[in-house]
Structure 1
Amino acid sequence: MKGKKNYEEELTIDNIYPHGLSREEKAAADREMAAFRMEQWNKMTKADHLRADLLQVKYQMESVIESLEYQGSLHFGYFLSAYIRAVQKKQKEFAAEISIDETRLSRIIHNKEFPNDELFIRLELHSNNTISALSWFLLAGKGKAYNISTNKELRRKEKKNVHKTIAKI
């Protein structure tokens, strides 16, 4: 057990206490790391960049899907727009590639229209299965669930269509 305690203590020390570098050493280390990252970035092919951009969209989507609270600005249309940017397309070109009306695409991006199952499948196919239809569906569903749970105007409007309710339980 003593070995485990020393290991945990070392982890704590390494993660809590400062690195011990002077400002100049830290700045030099940061420049060296930035240069290394830029070198690696420049070595990437166009396909590597596309994959990195798509995975970034995918992981951000998954993070939003898994979060407990709804973040209104990170709706389905936000991620669809991010996806279109990641694949370096114009909306018109992208709409043609997935056989959707450009106006409808714009309405979905601007959160004015809810996407259908066919669009989820088309997005999965377009991404060559990088982002699943299920992920697109869950993302859209999160927004829909929020809207249903908070839309008081819709409740007032629909109340006139319910002529009788069950007794209070």
Structure 2
Amino acid sequence: MSIPQWFAGQALLADDMNARNPKLITQQNDQTVTTSTTLVNSEITFVPEPNAVYQYWLYISYSATVNSDLRWAWAAAGATLASFTIGYAATAGSGVNTGSDVIMRRPGNTTARAAGGTDTAGTTPPVNFHSAYDLGTFVTDGTLSSVTLQFAQNTSHADQTILRGGNQTRMIYARIG
């Protein structure tokens, strides 16, 4: 269904009006990855309409040590993303409340994004909560394919990397064209 242009005297349908409403997807449960840089699917997934343009805002909550960090990417076979991301660039010895560099980038469609952890090596599970952001737009092709957030450790390590659930990691998206 496309977002139509409306004209005087035209009947408006509920589906046409509701297509413009923002939608929310939440990560309900914590998901943990240990000793792996292989991306796994999160609970942030949906099937967008074909031949459409969407705007999205992804708010990631995670915990990781300085050894493992976080890496995320999109599995979106039928969509081309234009992402703008912000992630914590942890440095050795930095604490959760210590200022540090951030990574602000415009990664390619299939490029993984990274964000650092601050828990000391060997802290299992890591207890510091961090945020990373990914926002932008995506265009879908003519197929019905899911868009799924995937995550892993940025560096394979025995320390845990946790994508936080309980309504902490969430995505808001809206069809804009």
TM-score range relative to shorter protein: under 0.3
State TM-score, norm by structure 1.
0.25
State TM-score, norm by structure 2.
0.24
Identify, as 1 or 2, the structure richer in helix: 1
Identify, as 1 or 2, the structure richer in strand: 2
